[in-house]
Amino acid sequence: MNAVDGSAHVPQESYAEELEEELPSLLVIVLDVSPAGWGTESPPISLKEAVASLLVFANSHLALNHSNEIAVLAAHSSTVRFLYPPRQTTSSTDESADGNSTNNNGSQGAKGRVGGLTTEEGADPSLREGSPSSGAAGASMYRQFRVVNEAVVEQLDALLSKTSVADIAQPSNPDVAVETSMVSGALSIALSYINRQTGGGEATSGEDVTAAKRARILLVSVCSDLAAQYVPIMNCIFAAQKMKVPIDICKIGKDTVFLQQAADTTGGVYIHLDHPKGLTQYLMTAFLPDRLLRTHLVLPTQSSIDFRAACFCHKRVVDIGYVCNICLSIFCQPPADRSCAICSTVFDPLELSDLTKQPVLIRPNGQKKKAKKKAKRDEGSATPAPAPAAAAS
């Protein structure tokens, strides 16, 4: 393995020490459950298989260390829901789970900290003992695994079976499903959750920092259109970067621009799955190591990153954009009303006319054509005379 990951140069004892410390790590899995991704005729991988793979992965994470923790979020097309820990235990997340409050960076979680830290699986075993699917087969499973697996499957079932067509349809056209999912909202909630679990930002020394370092987010994304959520997603990315929380992206389906940036900025892994059916293998090989281990590994992430942005006016991904020099908003075309649509700064008409100039390749009338010929003669010689330059300016 050393030959592959290039870790041969790393002094062995340095991470052996860290491993001995057995620090717990928190993994937040965000599963994109938008019907547009999973509900097509022949999805690259069925939702059932994906959930099974994720559960295997989650169980492996829990198995690595006795005190490892996990949370699973579902990002629906218009809502975000905690799958694990389930709703009853974390009532405080209800208000944040409606997915509409997407544009925050973790402050919400800090406020809602009173909601209780009852994520210890052993806290109330009686609650899940009586759940319907825990039969004889469940008895043979490690209890922590079983608790997580059952909760995730139950909650997911509850979430999706309650979903009606109206929930996922576009407001303008009820027959067509929205293409997007609440990824930005899910990331916000995940960051808030991490913030709460690891003691918040105010602790600047001691164990809390190491605990925060050990948190990470894994996003399994199927929908490709996130342009409308550009700003909230970028805010989440920068918040995660500040919190030193890597965002891993496991991408099924088409590539998504901003998610590549998310992984790159936060030091996470971005893999676009060429063979989605092998999801389990991808998860186990690429996404299992936590942040501290990653400093010693060569990460299996893409080297080329699409750094494009989406414009604020039409939410399109742009190759060439126009940036307001006051508020840094991005636009796909020069503003028609000569002022910034976001901050109302009035732009210099001269500068604007520079942007909208049309190329002129042919002189419009005969009289000027002579001048063109003359200019051509001048430029034909090795060094042009100074005179035409002065005239041109």
Partner 1 sequence: MQAPFTVPAQHSGKKGIATVSSIKQVFEWRPAAARDDSVEASGDTIVIQLGELSSLQASPATHPKARLKIKTKADAQYVFQLPNRANLDALKTVLSSAISAAQQSASTTAAAAAADSAAVAAGSVGTPAKNGKSPTKAAGDASKSSSSALPQNKGMSDAELLVDRELQQSLLKSNSELQQQFLDAVVKQSLPAEEFWRTRIPLLRMHSLVRTQNRGLYNVLASIKPVSTTQANSTGTETGQAQVKVSLSPDKIKDIFRQYPVVNRAYQENVPPLKETEFWSRFFLSRLCRKLRGERLSVNDPVDAVMDKYLNLDQDGLTAEERERENENTKVMRFVDIEANEEDDSQKAGNQPDITMRPSTQKDALSIIRTFNELSQRIVDIVQNEAEQPEEETEKLKEKELQLQDLEPEAAATRVELHLHRSSDSGIAKSGDDSSDLRADQNNHSASELLRNMKNSLPKGPINDLLTSTIPSSSMITHAQTQVFKLIVDRRHTEQEKNTTADAETPAADAAVIREMKLSHATAVEFLHHFWAAFLSGDPARAASVAQLAASVEKSKVRLQAIVDRHIESVANKDPAALEQEKERVNRYVGITLKAIDSACKTYKDLLAKQQQQLQQQLQLNGGGDHGSSTAET
Site for partner 1 contains 116 (CB under 8 A): no
Whether the CB-CB separation of 90 and 73 falls below 8 Å is answered with: no
Site for partner 1 contains 319 (CB under 8 A): no
In terms of residues, how long is the chain? 393
Considering beta carbons, is residue 2 or 204 the nearer one to partner 1? Answer: 2
Q: Which of residues 10, 23, 64, 177 is near partner 1 by CB under 8 A?
A: 177
Site for partner 1 contains 127 (CB under 8 A): no
Considering beta carbons, is residue 91 or 285 the nearer one to partner 1? Answer: 285
Considering beta carbons, is residue 204 or 381 the nearer one to partner 1? Answer: 381
Query: Other CB atoms closer than 10 Å to residue 165's CB: what's the count?
Result: 10
Site for partner 1 contains 2 (CB under 8 A): no
Using CB atoms within 10 A of its CB, is residue 246 exposed (0-12), middle (13-18) or buried (19+)?
buried
In the numeric block, which tokens belong to residue 106? Answer: 């973790």
- Binding segment for partner 1 (CB under 8 A), chosen from 18-26, 52-60, 92-100, 185-193, is 52-60
Whether the CB-CB separation of 159 and 76 falls below 8 Å is answered with: yes
Q: Which of residues 14, 19, 22, 40 is near partner 1 by CB under 8 A?
A: 40
Would you say the C-alpha torsion 117, 150, 280, 284 has a positive or negative sign? positive
Site for partner 1 contains 56 (CB under 8 A): yes
Which 65-94 positions form the footprint of partner 1 (CB under 8 A)? none
Is the bond leading into 85 cis (omega within 30 degrees of zero)?
A: yes
Helix (H) or strand (E) holding 339: none
Whether the CB-CB separation of 59 and 145 falls below 8 Å is answered with: yes
Q: Which of residues 91, 170, 295, 325 is near partner 1 by CB under 8 A?
A: 170
Residues 6+ apart with CB under 8 A from 190: 28, 30, 71, 73, 217
Which 210-249 positions form the footprint of partner 1 (CB under 8 A)? 225, 228
CA dihedral (379, 382, 384, 385) in degrees, to 10, reads -130
Q: How far is the CB of 382 from partner 1 (least distance, A)?
A: 7
Write the interaction track for partner 1 spanning residues 337-376; mark x where CB under 8 A is met and - where it is not. Answer: ----xxxx------------xxxxxxxx-x-xx-xx--xx
> Could you identify the residue written with the tokens 């492996």?
60
Site for partner 1 contains 273 (CB under 8 A): yes
Q: How far is the CB of 155 from partner 1 (least distance, A)?
A: 12
Site for partner 1 contains 320 (CB under 8 A): no
Considering beta carbons, is residue 77 or 195 the nearer one to partner 1? Answer: 77
Region of residue 335 (phi > 0: left; psi between -120 and 50: alpha; otherwise: beta): beta
Write the interaction track for partner 1 spanning residues 128-147; mark x where CB under 8 A is met and - where it is not. Answer: -----x-x-xx-xx----x-
Site for partner 1 contains 14 (CB under 8 A): no
